[in-house]
Amino acid sequence: MKASRLILLVHVLSTAAVLVHAFDPFTTTMVVGIGATLGRTIYKYFHESCDSKWIDFNSTALKTDLEQKLFGQHVASRIVLKAVNGFMSNESPKKPLVLSLHGWTGTGKNFVSQMIAESIFKEGMDSSFVHVFTSTLHFPHPIQIDTYKSELQQWIKGNVSSCERSLFIFDEMDKMHPGLIDCIKPYLDYYDKLDGVSYRKAIFIFLSNSGGESIVQTALDFWRAGRDRSEIQLKDLETSLSLSVFNNKESGFFRTSLIDRNLVDFFVPFLPLEFKHVVQCVMAEMKARNLDLDQDVADQVAKDLVYFPKVDRVFSAKGCKTIDSKLDYYTKD
Ligand SMILES: Nc1ncnc2c1ncn2[C@@H]1O[C@H](COP(=O)(O)OP(=O)(O)OP(=O)(O)O)[C@@H](O)[C@H]1O
Ligand SMILES: *[C@@H]1O[C@H](CO)[C@@H](O)[C@H](O)[C@H]1NC(C)=O
Ligand SMILES: *[C@@H]1O[C@H](CO)[C@@H](O)[C@H](O)[C@H]1NC(C)=O
Ligand SMILES: [Mg+2]
């Protein structure tokens, strides 16, 4: 079947070639010209470009993703939706959107950045307008800080020049050199234009674990007081978050003046995940793998993880990370 189709195709192509040869040079040029134009059109059609065909914010998609796929993060979910909706519906924002996502490991920070990317760019994280920088990967050696600085500035400038709707994700922000953070500050600020480039439609997302402990403490206080997790509000986390973030001498992020200059528009706290959320994560993973949903296996996988603090064992030490490999173990016999 397939072979015969191929033979047919080869036959058609060789006939076409013979035909082209049979024509005079003028016609040949025309045919080749039309072919080239067609080729360009097809290329443009499939190749990502900086226009509304490829960049088209879908608020409903972000809302459903946050509601259905993100577990146990009612505070983060609300802030992210509001922030991104507001920014994307503003025709002329005064500054780029800067979000700073904080929380314990495995609680969904990268996951949410991915959802944001997917709601804006057709190609999601694979879009050529989405740029991820990981401190330990892209800027590992403090000694080369000056090289990194000029590289990073050139990248940001180059990328925003070619598409003003660019998304930059800085992972492991707490491990980033303060000097490097300083050098991106101008791009986050209220400037009309910087060297002729406007950064006001860009989005910057910072991810870090700093403040994670204080968020855990607040969640634990609620739990110990027998209060429902859903009662936790931003204001319950805000003071302790900003204090712990400010006072963390270790972290480069906060020794810089990102905070005092109000360059970060929203601090987004991620709560530590409980047993029931881990179970939800396992069920979601089963569904993604087209396995039969099995509550017992999900419970078993969730029980295998480590929970803290030692006395109450409420929160998963690694959040929903590592359940992938655990699930393999239970579903393969
Ligand atoms: N709240 C959540 N709801 C649903 N799935 C989650 C949640 N948190 C984590 N996951 C799952 O676990 C995986 C790992 O989470 P993610 O990489 O987002 O963690 P993180 O917060 O960035 O952690 P780290 O601080 O270690 O980088 C995600 O890809 C997702 O599948
Ligand atoms: C937006 O997303 C929703 C949910 O994923 C989808 O049903 C809808 O078709 C999308 N709209 C557009 C305009 O792409
Ligand atoms: C855009 O950023 C990437 C890194 O994500 C970099 O490799 C690339 O050179 C940048 N493009 C421009 C035009 O500067
Ligand atoms: Mg992460």
Q: Quote the strand ranges of the chain, DSSP E.
A: 97-103, 130-134, 167-171, 203-208, 266-270, 307-308, 315-316
Closest CA to ligand 3's atom 12: 158
- Identity (one letter) of the amino acid at 259? I
pLDDT of residue 3: 47
| Ligand lying nearest the CA atom of residue 211 | 1
Q: Are 285 and 111 in contact (CB under 8 A)?
A: no
**Which DSSP symbol is given to 16?**
H
Q: Rounded to an integer, what distance in angstroms lies between the CA atom of residue 252 and that of residue 323?
A: 31
| Ligand lying nearest the CA atom of residue 159 | 3
| CB of 131 shorter than 6 A to ligand 3 | yes
| CB of 275 shorter than 6 A to ligand 3 | no
Enumerate residues 6+ apart whose C-beta is below 8 A from 152: 133, 139, 180, 183, 184
Å from CA of 229 to ligand 3 middle: 42
| Ligand lying nearest the CA atom of residue 61 | 2
Write a three-state SS string for 139-150.
Answer: CCCHHHHHHHHH
Enumerate residues 6+ apart whose C-beta is below 8 A from 277: 71, 72, 316, 320
**Residue 262 marked in a binding site:** no
Burial class (CB in 10 A: 0-12, 13-18, 19+), 57: middle
| CB of 128 shorter than 6 A to ligand 2 | no
Q: Which of 78, 110, 171 to mutate to test the pocket of ligand 1 (most atoms within 8 A of CB)?
A: 110
- Identity (one letter) of the amino acid at 233? Q
C-alpha dihedral, 176 to 106 to 247 to 268, nearest 10°:
100
Token pair 């892209």 in the structure block, residue: 138
CA 102 from centre of chain: 14
| CB of 58 shorter than 6 A to ligand 2 | yes
Q: Rounded to an integer, what distance in angstroms lies between the CA atom of residue 121 and that of residue 314?
A: 37
Closest CA to ligand 2's atom 6: 61
Q: Rounded to an integer, what distance in angstroms lies between the CA atom of residue 215 and that of residue 271?
A: 6
Residue pLDDT tens, the chain, 333 long: 344 454 444 454 455 555 555 567 777 777 777 888 888 878 777 889 999 999 999 999 999 999 999 999 999 999 999 999 999 999 999 999 999 999 999 999 999 999 999 999 999 999 999 999 999 999 999 999 999 999 999 999 999 999 999 999 999 998 888 889 889 999 999 988 888 999 999 999 999 998 899 999 999 999 999 999 999 999 999 877 777 776 666 665 655 667 667 789 999 999 999 999 999 999 999 999 999 999 999 999 999 999 999 999 999 999 999 898 888 888 765
**Residue 109 marked in a binding site:** yes
Q: How far is CA 10 from CA 3, 88, 126, 181, 277, in A?
A: 11, 49, 34, 57, 56
C-alpha dihedral, 281 to 285 to 288 to 293, nearest 10°:
-90
Q: Rounded to an integer, what distance in angstroms lies between the CA atom of residue 258 and that of residue 210?
A: 14
3-class SS of residue 270: strand
Q: Rounded to an integer, what distance in angstroms lies between the CA atom of residue 275 and that of residue 4?
A: 57
Q: Which string of DSSP letters, residue by residue, matches 96-107?
A: -EEEEEEESTTS
Token pair 């403490």 in the structure block, residue: 217
pLDDT of residue 294: 93
Q: Rounded to an integer, what distance in angstroms lies between the CA atom of residue 249 and that of residue 143?
A: 20
